[in-house]
Structure 1
Amino acid sequence: MENFFKLRENNTTLKTEILAGVTTFLTMVYIVIVNPAILSSAGVPFEQVFMATIIAAVTGTLIMGLLAKYPIAIAPGMGLNAYFASVVGTQGLSYQTVFGAVLVAGILFILLSVSKVREMLIMAIPSSLKYGITSGIGLFIAFIGLKSAGIIVPNKATMISLGDLHSPVTVLSIFGLLITLILMARRINGALFYGMIITAIVGYCFDLLRFKGVASMPPAPVFFDVDLAGVFSNGLYAVIFAFLLVTIFDTTGTMIGVSEQAGLLKNGKFPRAKQAFLGDSVATTVGAMFGTSPSTAYIESSTGVAAGGRTGLTALVVSILFLISMFFSPIISAISSLPAITAPVLIIVGCFMMEGLAKVAWKEFDEAFPAFAIILTMPLTSSIATGIAIGFITYPLMKVFTGKGKTVHPLIYFFGVVFLIQLIFFPSH
């Protein structure tokens, strides 16, 4: 383990990496239940999506851990699954046909990943946008944490407002947040993980965490329930484009954000980039073959990094836990149903990810505004890809009109135009 993952070189230990992996897993395991619930609304059998979700997560995260050696977890993406369900529901297509579109997008995704396009893209993204992406993701996941805890709720007049602080789940979430903050302040290793355990125990004592069993045999996976011919007969090219574009920028943005947070970017470069990019692209392709929507790097990986995860061992632990999870769906369902366990961690990690803001050149408006636009847009649109799109559109515009257009990499101009077209004509979510 020491030699393969270079634990000492990355200033980490076996215990830290295992705790980080468990922390990441617990914050994202909800996808095993939520993803089947969303896709089953489009007619896909719940059991099929349950197994496909786990297979895609294990495949992508293993590649990320063993080949790329990054502490980043992969699984079917939220937002992309809702878009999948909306395509099936609004266009009168079978889910098999839309899985065909995901499969085509996945194959194109692999081709882009083994080429130098994605690596060049990371090199081309200016520092201010990278810091903006990291901070935007931080605000986004903190927003998710506050929302799932019930600390903030929808409001017709003001969009959002303070929730009911007498609600049992909200009270437990605030308790979990305070306990975890105390553990963090005392510099206790594994504070995020221990905070989740304490919150779960208290929730169980007050009958908020209920178990309907412990283990169950997993359902048999379904392979290649896909209608490829239907993709071309129905001309689903815009759907393929939307899947591909959102997945590329969701996952690339998350990789930049988490790697920046972990200090793994070397002078703006992303070592072992091709191996990392294969993780989400192969997971998307394999997931489509078994019956799930596209996979992406998970922003919850930042919780494992905050817990000290620095190597692929963290991802390996996550993938092993996902594999085991297929036998423990009753426990996973119970944990997923109580957001108070994971919400405090998401809120705290959001704070950690704001560190890069200090490095943005705020006195240079053409650098500051695109970063600000990303930070503002990600949580308000609930979309990493949309936030990145706004940054890619505003950055070259600002540079052109301040007479610095030649300093912008051609790829930024290209994707700025692509994003503008996508937002106007092919909005995905």
Structure 2
Amino acid sequence: MIEKFFALKEHNSSVKTEVVAGFTTFLTMVYIVVVNPAILSSVGVPFEQVFMATIIAAVTGTLIMGIFARYPVAIAPGMGLNAYFASVVATQGLSYQTIFGTVFIAGLIFILISLSKFRELLITAIPSSVKYGITSGIGLFIAFLGLKSSGIVVPNEATMITLGDLHQPGTVLSLAGLLITLILMARRVNGALFFGMLITAVFGYMFNMLKFDKVISAPPAPVFFDLDIAGVFSNGLYAVIFAFLLVTIFDTTGTMIGVSEQAGLMKDGKFPRAKMAFLGDAIATAAGAMFGTSPSTAYIESSAGVAAGGRTGLTSVIVAALFTIAIFFSGVISAISSLPAITAPVLIIVGCFMMEGLARIDWKSFDEAFPAFAIILTMPLTSSISTGIAIGFITYPLLKAVSGKAKTVHPIIYIFGFIFLIQMIFFPTH
């Protein structure tokens, strides 16, 4: 029954291979159940609420991906977007219920886009240099967040930031955890991020920096958030919605196509069952917002499962099952996330992963290079992903137009550029 439903023979796979692949993918991405609650709880969102929402979003999206789209791709709340969520709450003085409202609206729009051809239009219209600039800028943003939370860098009046006190216990543990995880990554150990966190946690426990009340516990009760949808419109948070939407679309689409190509599932350059695949993360985003987490996306860590032999949706089903089991370990995860030294190395290393696209930018063409550079520079320095995106959409069509290449830019880019310009002049986000 399982073999037939997932067409295992047609994909030269087996139940055993898919189970191993599922475990491999889970181990490489399970860090999100620690890191995501740690980031969102830093701005007041109840930890246990984020923990359950993270798992609900992961299970929902991954099951849709596995059963209906039948791809070995896992879905969960995305890194970068969670940091952006926290920065908006912290810098704009708005309640997290209001920002969850923007996530929910973005999720609904995402669902509508996934059912139409607009998603394909948007992906083809936005230039590669802007896409890669956005991804890389987010990478620097979350790496800086890791450096700051660990105490490796600290505020300084003269230079804004400077090197922290490397003798502080938390900072020493952060550096040790980073070194351990880097070694595991260099040795290509499956689940290196997870095992790096685990080893760091053991050291933290040995030096009385980490304490556990209980290991296994009854899962927290999931609660629907009272989303402040009205506050989204009264505060004019359209740029925030657009930022969530844009980054999720690019991240998810690129990851799905990349992992599918790796698995040999692309057919003549086409992406079979694309609509159901794209709906997976869109529905997970809307559902996650209702329970209390930032937008979901496809995880590039799925490639580890594909490398282990995963070729069908059964891999994703196994991942979803393992996330479900994780709800019984909220006590351990809560304790681990309360020690920044454990999660900071993950933020720094994931930031490095997101810089890959820089190699694909044409740095010799100024009108291509500068918009990407402006995005990458602006995001970490302003602590705002949406500001970085706005700068990119404004500078790209402007430079193309004055370079005599106006016709090479899709009309939709001019429209977005104008909207962002108006937004930054009259409705700036701080």
Normalising TM by the smaller chain, what interval? Answer: 0.7 to 0.9
1:74 has 2:77 as partner = yes
With normalisation by structure 2, the TM-score equals 0.78
1:236 has 2:233 as partner = yes
SS at match of 1:38: coil
Aligned residue in 2 for 1:214:
215
Aligned residues of 1:137 and 1:257 also touching (Cα < 8 A): no
SS at match of 1:213: coil
1:163 has 2:160 as partner = no
Q: Structure 1: how far apart are the matches of 2:188 and 2:107?
A: 42
More deviation, 359-368/417-426: 417-426
Aligned residue in 1 for 2:61:
60
- Alpha-carbon shift at residue 305 of structure 1 (Å): 5.3
Aligned residues of 1:20 and 1:303 also touching (Cα < 8 A): yes
Aligned residue in 2 for 1:147:
148
Aligned residues of 2:371 and 2:391 also touching (Cα < 8 A): yes
1:84–1:354 CA distance, 2 compared to 1 (3 A): closer
- Alpha-carbon shift at residue 314 of structure 1 (Å): 7.2
Q: Structure 2: how far apart are the matches of 1:271 and 1:337?
A: 42
1:21 has 2:26 as partner = yes
- Alpha-carbon shift at residue 49 of structure 1 (Å): 5.8
Aligned residue in 2 for 1:248:
245
Q: How does 1:68-107 map to 2 (within 5 A)?
A: 69=71, 70-74=73-77, 77-80=82-85, 83=88, 103=104, 106-107=107-108
Q: How does 1:29-68 map to 2 (within 5 A)?
A: 29-32=34-37, 34-35=39-40, 38-40=43-45, 51-64=52-65, 66-67=67-68
1:329–1:349 CA distance, 2 compared to 1 (3 A): closer
Aligned residue in 2 for 1:297:
297
Q: Structure 1: how far apart are the matches of 2:42 and 2:361?
A: 40
Percent identity between the aligned chains?
58
SS at match of 2:24: helix
Deviations 1:39-77 (A, max 9, x none): 55xxxx776665445433432344355555334423683
2:354 is matched by which residue type in structure 1?
Answer: M
More deviation, 360-369/275-284: 275-284
1:297–1:159 CA distance, 2 compared to 1 (3 A): farther
Deviations 1:128-181 (A, max 9, x none): 223323322332232222222221122222121111101112111211222233
Aligned residues of 1:122 and 1:270 also touching (Cα < 8 A): no
What runs of 5+ residues in structure 1 fail to find an aligned partner? Answer: none
Deviations 1:316-345 (A, max 9, x none): 565444433433221111111122223223
1:367 has 2:364 as partner = no
Q: How does 1:23-422 map to 2 (within 5 A)?
A: 23-32=28-37, 34-35=39-40, 38-40=43-45, 51-64=52-65, 66-67=67-68, 69=71, 70-74=73-77, 77-80=82-85, 83=88, 103=104, 106-223=107-224, 225=226, 231=230, 236=233, 239=236, 241-255=238-252, 258=255, 274-290=275-291, 292=292, 295-297=295-297, 301=299, 319-422=320-423
SS at match of 2:179: helix
2:415 is matched by which residue type in structure 1?
Answer: F
Aligned residues of 2:387 and 2:429 also touching (Cα < 8 A): no
> What CA RMSD, in Å, does the superposition of the two structures yield over aligned residues?
4.0
- Alpha-carbon shift at residue 355 of structure 1 (Å): 3.1
1:222–1:362 CA distance, 2 compared to 1 (3 A): closer
1:80–1:336 CA distance, 2 compared to 1 (3 A): same
Q: Structure 1: how far apart are the matches of 2:418 and 2:110?
A: 20
1:346–1:356 CA distance, 2 compared to 1 (3 A): same
Q: Structure 2: how far apart are the matches of 1:237 and 1:273?
A: 36
Deviations 1:196-237 (A, max 9, x none): 332222222122221121233234434575687xx3xx8936
- Alpha-carbon shift at residue 248 of structure 1 (Å): 0.4
SS at match of 1:328: helix
1:252 is matched by which residue type in structure 2?
Answer: I
Q: Structure 1: how far apart are the matches of 2:280 and 2:85?
A: 17
With normalisation by structure 1, the TM-score equals 0.78
1:30 is matched by which residue type in structure 2?
Answer: V
Aligned residues of 1:39 and 1:49 also touching (Cα < 8 A): no
Aligned residues of 2:190 and 2:304 also touching (Cα < 8 A): no
Aligned residues of 2:57 and 2:296 also touching (Cα < 8 A): no
Q: Structure 2: how far apart are the matches of 1:173 and 1:188?
A: 20
Q: Structure 1: how far apart are the matches of 2:220 and 2:146?
A: 31
Q: Structure 2: how far apart are the matches of 1:14 and 1:348?
A: 27
Q: Structure 2: how far apart are the matches of 1:143 and 1:235?
A: 28
1:396–1:189 CA distance, 2 compared to 1 (3 A): same
1:20–1:86 CA distance, 2 compared to 1 (3 A): same
Deviations 1:298-320 (A, max 9, x none): 8xx45665897787777656544
Aligned residues of 1:151 and 1:170 also touching (Cα < 8 A): yes
SS at match of 1:361: coil
Aligned residues of 1:250 and 1:385 also touching (Cα < 8 A): no
Q: Structure 2: how far apart are the matches of 1:153 and 1:179?
A: 23
